[in-house]
Structure 1
């Protein structure tokens, strides 16, 4: 790292690449003593140039943010630089997203698994849902992330008392094949763990189901399960009922948003183009939401039952939410009622 840093400083001083690399060879005492070649050195210098504030993408990115902020003072951004003014992290939120958050900040999902661009910087959007089922110092009621330890620690620091943190159940369950795939009773273990996670209506019921899982499949000494149990208040639904989750227990909304942005950006998109395309993507989502709003106000969905309660929902819900209510009404009407004597 010291040699790479020296090469970077030589580049800043205007030393040409071939002379720059040769100086590193001399410094180390020969080619055989270097752990990298001239191509590696060139790639490192190119990356350093791209991330240097005032040159290339970072400068264009800063100019773009400043211009957006002048157009709308609700636009917010911050650029994290190291001691040598090189870009390390960048965060931004447009005015529309901030306004939506004021109304729909109950639950957000945070996922860092989306593409990492040419600068080795992952894209980590905060995603939530609005009244259509799409999505200033106010913390969300709940946040859903994977089990990443750094994210857990950051959540506790930033939202120490105001936000309930929940682990994404999908990320937990996807680890089962790797943990127990070779076990002769894998399918039984998977079914028992699903029961613990999804079907335990109370904490006491979870404890009973968990005991059944461990004893039936002799997993009392399994380290992964012990770790899960110690953090059960972060992923078991029975322990999380005191918080409104908008029907979410996974970061699936983030996955859906990632798929949406696949049409606009890719891993080779440079920073300036990335933010510009991201903005285009959000603009398209706003256009769709405006269309949904119009339809909700001007195109009424007919009621499917004679019950006044359904009409009440029609008056106050958007079309998307009212369709969900109708589905529930349909399920109720399909039930066969019978009396049971105690």
Structure 2
């Protein structure tokens, strides 16, 4: 201001030491976030030194001290705030007494100091609220990412089970038919033709089901998708197995009714995997597939007269096979269980799967 509005003639000139003293009252604000209490003390000391030094270039404004006090309220702990607040009130009282000694100046100075403190606490609350929102958003993002990864893992496991069931069953039937083909060509040519037709039919069915599952992996929403096989397709499945040698019969007991599509698909896959094991490992001549409709559950049994597992419940499967694991996972997905062991008369092999149907909406 002395460069714009000339100072009174009786006032001392504005010199560089006075400007330097004014600068010292503001410069510490650069470090206010690192050391708010030290900055407040430095600014108050600079202001006191300015008043004691004499008449400088205009009146030093108290805004730097208010900003420093605001920073103390914003960043310091409650113990430090209370200590600094008490010392500030004492400093204000001494300063006012030294300056004018009027109640008007004392109340005004205390009011603006309290306002700076209140603004600091409000800003602290706002920052804490914003930080809590950001942390919650980050947690939700992590939770959503984990859920998406788990969903993707479950979908991969489901597709792996489907592909295992389809390929294992189809390849087993085709191998049995192909091995019987040369013998049939020499002894019964008409049976060889039926074997080759069974191989072709099994291959076409497997390809159709694989196309359905691979369509799930496409990103194009318009990709055509066929429904999953259900109980109604068991007749065709059993007919293909009969072409491989064993006689298979299907028996339904209880109140036969329509079931949800997902549950029917599980029944189909369970029976398919069980019959695959029969063809590959049992050497059975007869297989009985039973569907027992209870009030709250559906029991699926597959019993053969082949070479049983003996004591215990170890399935006929090669080491590292995933057939029984897949059956247990499918049963658990519907709140059920899967057990294996010898047949009812102690011979052969039986798979017994219980699936919960209560609480599900009926329909396909």
Fold-level match, TM-score > 0.5?
no
Relative contact order higher in (CA < 8 Å, ≥ 6 apart): 1
With the length of structure 2 as denominator, give the TM-score of the two structures: 0.18
Structure with the largest fraction of helix: 2
* Bigger Cα Rg: 2
